[in-house]
Amino acid sequence: MICYFQGCNETGVTKEHIPPRSFFPEDERHQLLTVKACKTHNNDKSTNDLYVLAQICMHSSPSNRAREVFLDRVAPQLSHNNDALRRLLSKGAVQVPGGVLYPVDQARFDEFFTALCCGLVYKSQKAQLPPNYRISHIYHQLLDNGSAEWKQLVAAVDEFYGAKPETVLDFGRPDAQNERIYTVEIYGVPHFGGSITIVHRFFGVFKVTSMLTRLVER
């Protein structure tokens, strides 16, 4: 079976969890999906995953679940390898009135969400995303500067992609006392008949819209 990653020709020899196992407390991993990955595209245990999880938790306020996951999954890792993760997160941090502003490394987010999208498509379509799709992401919480332009852009994106989801994959255990950790909706035409939109939500707060645009050959 071929690796899940777009454009990769290697055989999938390992299991990749989508989203990563590291995002979930030990007792909530039973519903995670897996895809076949080659060694290069298996991101399990990568620093990048933890970086993205930490940032998502930090930007999901107020969410008790995000706080809980941060304390359970991220906090114990902060001091490993000479504070590697702590230093990564606080790189470029600036003191502002009322707190500290942590800049976000968008390249790390893009890498993470592109891999996640490849996994979701592979799982729902049972095929690798074809090479003529370009993947880009909008991070609603990270980019929201409160401006009218931003609100307009988000409204336009929501309207454009407001069609009914083709497939809804539901992750995490429904729990009346807590928000779920991750939900996702996939919008698009089956069998790669057109562009695909994937809407991710973490803790019911942190929203990411991934646009998988099908480029038409001339």
CA dihedral 121, 48, 139, 3 (to 10 degrees): -10
Closer of 3 and 184 to Zn ion (Cβ): 3
Q: Are 192 and 49 in contact (CB under 8 A)?
A: no
Q: Is 3 in the site for Zn ion (CB under 5 A)?
A: yes
- Span near Zn ion by CB under 5 A; candidates 1-9, 76-84, 158-166, 190-198: 1-9
If phi over 0 gives left and psi between -120 and 50 gives alpha, with beta otherwise, what is residue 89? Answer: alpha
Nearest to 113 by CA among 204, 206, 38: 206
d(CA 134, CA 118): 11
Total residues in contact with Zn ion, by rule CB under 5 A: 6
List the one residue from 18, 35, 38, 57 that touches Zn ion (CB under 5 A).
38
- Nearest distance in Å: CB 7, Zn ion: 8
Query: Does residue 10 belong to the site contacting Zn ion (CB under 5 A)?
Result: yes
- Shortest Cβ 10–Zn ion spacing (Å): 5
Residue 125: CB minimum distance to Zn ion, A? 17
Q: Which helix (H) or strand (E) holds 28?
A: none
Q: Which is nearer to Zn ion, 5 or 70 (CB)?
A: 5
Q: Which residues bind Zn ion (CB under 5 A)?
A: 3, 5, 8, 10, 38, 41
